[in-house]
Amino acid sequence: MKTWRLVVLLVAATVCVGAASQKPADKVAPPAGSLTAARKYLEGRWGLESFEVRPPGKPPIMVKGSGVLNYDDFGNLTMEIRAPQETTDLLRAAGLNIRDGVVSTKGRTVIDVPNKTLTYFIEGQRSSFETGGGPLALNRKRHWEVTQDVLTLTTKDDDGTPLSISRWKRAK
């Protein structure tokens, strides 16, 4: 009887020591094309490389400004684009809400991975359809494309014609 107890104790001790010596597995990367992978990719600070607005029936407006986009791990987004004075009136005439040369947005995003779009929900905004027209209106989804460390966001009209294109480079 004592031998049987000794064997049980030795087996139990071996199992406990084996379990304690196992290290937790490294974090597994989320599958490509998943919502988690998209959120992880977008997370961080981005600097504006270029911003173009294409008002219907008018020449494109190339904004020679600066900008920052911050996206956190909860889907919250803050974006600020500073435009030079000479383009502020053109942007306002194209339907952008610009004050003191700054286009500013703060809120959260919903990612649609299969369609590669972002929908913005801005703080204080009851509905994403309240803002009416303009190339950056909230009722326009942002189509996103990733090339290495550059994020391209494009808004389109109802026919699929681009209204605005912004390119952001990941800050290091």
Q: Write the pLDDT tens digit of every residue in 74-122.
A: 889 999 999 999 899 999 999 888 889 998 888 888 999 999 998 888 7
Per-residue pLDDT of the chain (172 residues; tens, 9 = 90+): 444 343 333 333 333 344 444 444 445 556 677 888 888 889 999 999 999 999 988 999 999 999 999 999 888 999 999 999 989 999 999 988 888 999 888 888 899 999 999 888 876 665 444 445 688 887 788 999 988 899 999 999 889 999 999 999 999 8
How far is Cα 39 from Cα 44, in angstroms, rounded to an integer? Answer: 10
> What is the per-residue DSSP string for the chain?
-HHHHHHHHHHHHHHHHHHHHPPPPPPPPPPTTSHHHHHHHH-EEEEEEEEEE--TTS--EEE--EEEEEE-TTSEEEEEEE--HHHHHHHHHTT---BTTEEEEEEEEEEETTTTEEEEEETT-S-TTTT-SSTT-TTSPEEEEEETTEEEEEEE-TTS-EEEEEEEEE--
Domains of the chain: 35-170 (2.40.128.280)
Q: Which pair of tokens denotes residue 16?
A: 């406990």
Residue type, 164: S
Q: Which pair of tokens denotes residue 125?
A: 């905004």
pTM over 0.85: no
